[in-house]
Structures are given as structure tokens and as C-alpha cells.
Amino acid sequence: MMSLTRTRTCFFVYCFLSSLELPVTSQTVVHAAQAHSAGSQVITASLQEDEYASFHAENPAWKFNHIAVDYHNGNVYLGAVNRIYKLSPSLEVQVSHETGPDEDNRKCYPPRIVQPCSEPLSLTNNVNKMLLMDYRENRLLACGSLYQGICKLLRLDDLFKLGEPFHKKEHYLSGVNESGSVFGVIVSYGNASPDMLFIATAVDGKPEYFPTISSRKLARNSEEDGMFAYVFHDEFVASMIKIPSDTFTVIPDFDIYYIYGFASGNFVYFLTLQPEMGNGPTTGSSTGREQVYTSKIVRLCKADTAFNSYVEVPIGCISGNVEYRLLEAAYLSKAGAILARSLDVEPDDDVLFTIFSKGQKRRPRQASQDSALCVFSLRKINEKIKERLQSCYKGEGTLDLAWLKVKDIPCSSALLTIDDDFCGLDMNAPLGVSEMVHGKPLLTDAVDKMTSVIAYVYKNHSLVFVGTKNGRVKKVRSRNTG
């Protein structure tokens, strides 16, 4: 189903160009071809002009969930249902590693591999939920849905299993079996200290077992006992945020889906899709009105072990009077000189390319195909957060985060200077921002839904590759008219 088709269309600031000569390496196209929400079965790489290679899993039911490309050599790692594959840059299989299926039941907590479970077991698929390159230790971190969401550490060369911690509570990330619900970011502090892993995950109705965001120790030795231990944990404070169980009495199927994440400057960011809590009591999704969703960007300081720096800002995009509020995919890139001019930022500034679909309702069957590609300046999002922190520390407004049960708690004033790198105190935290930050729309498509995006800068142009539900790749370039 995934094939590579070139598209030519022109619009306001951007233009698809198939004739432009570009260093289109297999990495970039393979990357763009991922449609993680749709669960593709084939990936295709463009090798040279009009020459393509493709790869199918041996079982068509083993959909591809994630892709990672080694930037040293172009090798491609695929996280699929029940398998992890290592492919060459031209997509020849080099090794495959089996991860499932196995006897399991999502109600078995702790999982049956640790303790006998009285629930009926059945052969269960292992959906790949997270695939991260750990370049420093030359290994791949592959987390699945089986056994409450445990992870394997696999050697990059041959996928040899270096470790698979599963005997402690913090080794279970969550049993959710949808890809596109979990995101991890590795944060390095140089060679002296071990890396940290920020994990953000949907909790699948089990907020008491799984924090929705936490920071973990990523031990250098894959077999080390403290692998994935919380960076900080005492009686009162921990490097984690849990969804309060009260939130589930308001919205029984409440959850936060993490679509993307990255580190930039002193911060770690996650892009989420979550049910909107509304103002008054709602009747829930099964009775009465349909659940409305919203997209938000979450920011945390890398060094904040108490998670006092947690801030959440709603994001969306409007194009031609149509609101696009459901985040599908995102990618962090640099602006490049030409796009920087039209966004009023510096060429080296971080920008976020995002795909949103129309509206705020996620009807699974008759979901809208209408989607938009929008760009955000990270500098502007940070400015908005700084302004909100400054006004809250003057005692203005409330903490305004409904799902964390702090919506109506008033901000407290304190005399302090809040600069760009402020990491919060144990007051006025966690903090929500009510005003939405709007992206700049670059392209909309009402027919073939856009589902994935990557970008890079080439000769001052920002080049964006967008993958669609029907398996097309659109190449989009910034134009001088911006």
C-alpha cells in the first residue's frame, strides 16, 4: 500500500518541486514514508533517480510501528508488531529479532513472567511502542506492549539482546498497545554522568501503575539493576507526573497520547493529544456529547528532578477559517534563512513542522481526511511560556490545568526574576496556559490525509517531506516570496 509517488502542487509560501536537484538519500525518504498512525505494511526507499527498493514484513499482519535510521551509515531499524528488523540502506534484511506473540493478558499486573497470573492467557501480539537509537552505547532501545510494556536493549550491529529488565515496577512503561501513544527522549550530560531517558506514555486506564511522564536513569550497562529507575524519588517528590484518579471520574477513558518529543536548549518537549476537560461536569464519551480533543505542547527542564517546571500550552492551526486541532505528527528542524525571514526568527532557530487534522473530534470510522501542515517557531512558544510564568508569579490567574486537578488554584505572587531558563519552584506548578499558540499554515489537503513529516535545510531552503495515508510523499520547499 505504501508506494512512493511524486506530487506537484503550488501554494502560498511553499511549492512542491520534483525537478529540483536534491540530495535525496534513502534515509530521508524512508523516514518520510512512515505512517505510524495508519500502521503501514511496506516501506520504500528512493535509491537513485527512478530506482526504488521496498521491504515487506514476512507476515502482512505485522504492521510497522516505528522506524529509526542510523545517521552514521544509513542502516534502517524497523519496529513492527512481533519483530524488530535491521535493514541495509537499500532495505535488504540483515537481521530480525523476534519479540512476540506470547501468552499474556493485559490485566496481569505484575506480568505473568514475574508472578503467576489468574487471568486467562491468550496468544498476544507485541506492538512496538518505542524505538530509540542510543548511539552512546551502540544499542537500540525497543519497547513493546507485552507484559505491561517492557523494553529490550539490542546491540545495533546484530540485534543481540544486551538486556531486558522486567522484574521491577519501573520496568513496566504501560500495557497500551497502540503505537503513537508513547514517546521517549534521551538526554545526555556529557561523558561524566549517565544519560537520562524521559518517557511519556498513555496509561491505558491504569494511572496508579504508570506515570504519564517521568525521567529515568539510562544505565550504561544494559544489565544494570538500576536501569530505568526514576532519576529522583523520595517520600514526597519524584521525577514523574501521574494522572489523578479523579480525572477518570470526569472522563472515564481519559488518556494522554504522546505524538512526538525532543530536547532543545535546557528543555525537553512533548507534543500531546488529549481529551479536553471542559468547564462544567461532562457526561463522558459513552453517553451524551462526543468527546472533544485538544493538542498541547509540554515543556520540562532537563535538569528538573522534581518536575516543578512542567508547563502545558495548547497548539493548533487555522487555515481559511478551518480549525485544525488534532495533532497527527511533528518534526523538529532548523528554520533556514528563507523560512526564518517569513517567520521573523533567526535561520538557526528551531522550528516545529506539524501535521494536524481538521476539528477536535476523533471519530474512528468517518474521520476527516482534511489535514494541514503548519510550522511553529519554538522561540515564540518559549516566549509565550515565559510571559505566562511571569504573570502567574505576579499572582495573576489560576494554574489552569484541568486534568491535573489544579484548574482553579490561584497563582501566588513571589518576588523573583523569571528569565528564559526558569525551571519552576514548588509553588505555581504544574502550570497550564489557556491561550492557544497558532502555527503558520503552509499547506492543506482535504482528500489524502497527511500523517507524517520530516524536514531539513538545504541551501537556505527548508525542505519538508510529508507522508500521506495513501502512501504518497510530498516534497515541499520554502519559496522566496514569504
Ligand X SMILES: *[C@@H]1O[C@H](CO)[C@@H](O)[C@H](O)[C@H]1NC(C)=O
**Residue ranges in contact with ligand X by CB under 6 A:** 81, 106, 125, 127, 177, 337, 459-460
- Least distance between ligand X and beta carbon 454 (Å): 21
**Nearer residue to ligand X within complex by CB, 59 or 434:** 59
CB-CB contact of 378 with 352 (8 Å): yes
- Least distance between ligand X and beta carbon 460 (Å): 4
**Nearer residue to ligand X within complex by CB, 125 or 360:** 125
Classify the C-alpha dihedral 330-256-317-436 as positive or negative. Answer: negative
CB-CB contact of 184 with 154 (8 Å): no
- Least distance between ligand X and beta carbon 419 (Å): 29
- Least distance between ligand X and beta carbon 340 (Å): 9
**How many residues are there in the chain?**
482
**Nearer residue to ligand X within complex by CB, 63 or 474:** 63
**Nearer residue to ligand X within complex by CB, 341 or 386:** 341
SS3 475: strand
What b/e readout covers 386-424, taking b as 16+ CB neighbours within 10 angstroms?
A: bebbeebbeeeeebbbbbbbbeeeebeeeeeebeeebbb
- Least distance between ligand X and beta carbon 459 (Å): 4
What is the spatial distance between Cα 157 and Cα 218, in angstroms, rounded to a whole number?
20
**Nearer residue to ligand X within complex by CB, 6 or 107:** 107
What is the spatial distance between Cα 400 and Cα 431, in angstroms, rounded to a whole number?
7
What is the spatial distance between Cα 24 and Cα 47, in angstroms, rounded to a whole number?
8
> Any residues with CB less than 8 A from the CB of 374 and at least 6 apart, and which?
317, 319, 324, 353, 354, 355, 356, 439, 440, 441, 442
- Least distance between ligand X and beta carbon 145 (Å): 7
**Nearer residue to ligand X within complex by CB, 340 or 401:** 340
- Least distance between ligand X and beta carbon 199 (Å): 20
- Least distance between ligand X and beta carbon 337 (Å): 4
Select from 309, 244, 300 the least CA-distant residue to 272. 300
**Nearer residue to ligand X within complex by CB, 42 or 337:** 337
Taking the CA of residue 327 as centre, how many other CA atoms within 13 Å lie in the half-sphere pointing to its CB? 31
**Nearer residue to ligand X within complex by CB, 81 or 332:** 81
| Span between the terminal Cα atoms of the chain, in Å | 35
